[in-house]
Amino acid sequence: MAVSVPSYRSNLQVPDVANAYFTNRYPGYRLVSYQCNEQTKSLSVLVLEPLLDGVVCPRCGAYCNRWKDKDRKLLINDWDIAAGGCIKVVVPSRRLRCRCGCTKTEDRPQWVLPGHLVIKQLGAFVQKLLRHRISIEDVSRITGLDWALIKDLDKAALQLAHGGQKDLSRIRRLAIDEISIHKGHKYATVVMDLDERAIIHVVEGKRQVDLQPFFDRLQELGIDKQIESVSVDMNAAYPKLIKENLPHAKIAYDRFHVMQQLNKQVLAAAKVFSIKKALMTYRNLPAKQRKLPQHKRARAVAVQCVKNAEWLVITDQDLLSPDRQERLRLLRENNQLFADLYAVTAKLKTVWRACSEQSALSVLNECIELCEAIADEHGFDDVRKFGRMLRRRAEGITAACVVKFGTNILEGANNTTKVIKRVAYGFRDFEYFALKLLGAFLGIHYKQ
């Protein structure tokens, strides 16, 4: 089928159109020569020169066309659809030799992004790609630009969009979370608005002094008294800080944080404990028996079955694949400690489903008793410590049942943080990392 091409009336001749393209893209400059890539035959370098032979001297204001270092050049990155990729644009970067004595280097062309050797249009293109959630690596592959440069562009765009002060007037229920950003040496504290599902504040560090400015701001805005609850990590020293700064806020330990603690403090330790115990049992056998295949097998099974044990125990069973359910069954069958810990974990989860603080407390007390019993039975002290911690934090845990908010929001934030950490080299540039986080959780009512 024939395709009809609309005919445009125009007074322009073909060379004029080409010129118009250049004038549009590189205003104030004209094309003097170009180079092609030998192999691909595609355009690779454009050599430009200014339309004017001189500039206004920044010192005396006179028009000056005397130069030294006439051959100094600047290599600017561009991306051209006709070239099918990145091209270099060469422009002179001469030094003035004005009669007034000024020897300043001429300004970079207006179409160059300030601070970068990239044309503004390419900068805008990069930001467009990034807004479509294309990773920095891929943008780098498409445009041929350096990772660091793309990061700078991304950061500049994020700063413009999310760098300002957030509207906090409607916040009621908050979550405060600390995240490790450099293998436990460096921390960030993240504040979320749970109703809006938005990250509203990210700060480097996890000490009281790091977070105090945020509370001061709430006080200045007069909204410190409207905060009803704050969900926090049990590890940190937040309770004191919150009591001092948010007079009406209940402290709540939600399911996500308690489970996180259980995972780190008890289940991970139980794994090490189980392996040690299995190896010890084997070593304590008489030398003759150690050679028997059934003992070797028993040792192998004991070590093998605790693989990923904490994860199998903590995940809701209906979320496990049939394959993993089978592994969980084997774990409970072969390891009594984990079988017992599984029972506590399952019971503990029901605390957050309780309909009142009172019934939550009674379930929680059963869990604490179970922890004690398991510690006695297996000689495993970490679970006793965890039980005592539950007792100390009982008020905040039972409060969480009444406050009711989605654990999934916190979990989602935590996972996204991990991803951002991995791809964004966050810890090298904290500000960028923080902006990335703010940009990733804009809240359910945010409109671009």
Q: Does 56 bind Zn ion (CB under 5 A)?
A: no
- Tokens at 185, concatenated: 């040496």
For residues 229 and 173, is the Cβ–Cβ distance under 8 A? yes
Q: Does 60 bind Zn ion (CB under 5 A)?
A: yes
Q: How far is the CB of 60 from Zn ion (least distance, A)?
A: 3
List binders of Zn ion among 93-132 (CB under 5 A).
98, 100, 102
Q: Does 300 bind Zn ion (CB under 5 A)?
A: no
For residues 80 and 43, is the Cβ–Cβ distance under 8 A? yes
The three-state secondary structure class of 77 is strand
Closest C-alpha to 184, from 264, 288, 290: 264
The residue range among 24-32, 39-47, 52-60, 289-297 that interacts with Zn ion, by the rule CB under 5 A, is 52-60
List binders of Zn ion among 158-187 (CB under 5 A).
none
61 vs 247, beta carbon nearer Zn ion: 61
CA 111, 113, 117, 119 torsion-angle sign? negative
Q: How far is the CB of 107 from Zn ion (least distance, A)?
A: 14
Q: How far is the CB of 184 from Zn ion (least distance, A)?
A: 58
Name the residue with tokens 């059934």: 294
Provide the angle, in degrees to the nearest 10, between the axes of the packed helices 430-440 and 407-424.
140
- Tokens at 446, concatenated: 């945010």
35 vs 103, beta carbon nearer Zn ion: 103
**48, 57, 76, 409: which one contacts Zn ion (CB under 5 A)?**
57
The Cα–Cα gap between 347 and 259 comes to: 12
Q: How far is the CB of 93 from Zn ion (least distance, A)?
A: 18
The Cα–Cα gap between 244 and 189 comes to: 18
**23, 25, 59, 366: which one contacts Zn ion (CB under 5 A)?**
59
62 vs 292, beta carbon nearer Zn ion: 62
The Cα–Cα gap between 352 and 363 comes to: 10
CB atoms within 10 A of CB 276: 10
97 vs 172, beta carbon nearer Zn ion: 97
The residue range among 55-63, 379-387, 427-435, 439-447 that interacts with Zn ion, by the rule CB under 5 A, is 55-63
Q: How far is the CB of 66 from Zn ion (least distance, A)?
A: 10
Q: Catalog residues that contact Zn ion under the rule CB under 5 A.
A: 57, 59-60, 98, 100, 102
